A and B are shown apart, each in its own frame.
Chain A
Amino acid sequence: DGGITQSPKYLFRKEGQNVTLSCEQNLNHDAMYWYRQDPGQGLRLIYYSQIVNDFQKGDIAEGYSVSREKKESFPLTVTSAQKNPTAFYLCASSESENTEAFFGQGTRLTVV
Chain B
Amino acid sequence: GQQVMQIPQYQHVQEGEDFTTYCNSSTTLSNIQWYKQRPGGHPVFLIQLVKSGEVKKQKRLTFQFGEAKKNSSLHITATQTTDVGTYFCAALPISNFGNEKLTFGTGTRLTIIP
Contact = CB atoms under 8 A, between A and B. Distances in A.
A85 interface: no
For chain A, give the interface size range: 20 to 34
Contact of B43 (A56, A97, A99, A103): A103
B109 A40 contact: yes
A44 B107 CA distance: 12
Contacts of B99: 56
B44 interface: yes
Nearest to A45: B101
Contact of B45 (A48, A56, A100): A100
B55 interface: no
B31 interface: yes
A58 interface: yes
A48 B101 contact: yes
A-side interface mostly? loop
10 contacts: A40-B109, A43-B104, A44-B104, A45-B104, A48-B101, A92-B43, A98-B30, A98-B31, A101-B90, A105-B41
Interface in A78-107: 90, 92, 97-106
Contact of B92 (A44, A98, A102): A98
A104 B42 contact: yes
Interface of B: 1, 6, 30-31, 33, 35, 41-45, 48, 88, 90, 92, 99-107, 109
B88 A97 contact: no
A101 B88 contact: no
A40 B8 CA distance: 13
B88 A100 contact: no
A17 interface: no
Contact of B48 (A42, A100, A105): A100
Interface string A30-51: 0000010000111111001000
Contact of B88 (A43, A98, A99): A43
B48 A103 contact: no
Nearest to A102: B45
A65 B53 CA distance: 40
A99 B104 CA distance: 14
Given A42-B105, A42-B106, A48-B101, A97 B92 contact: yes
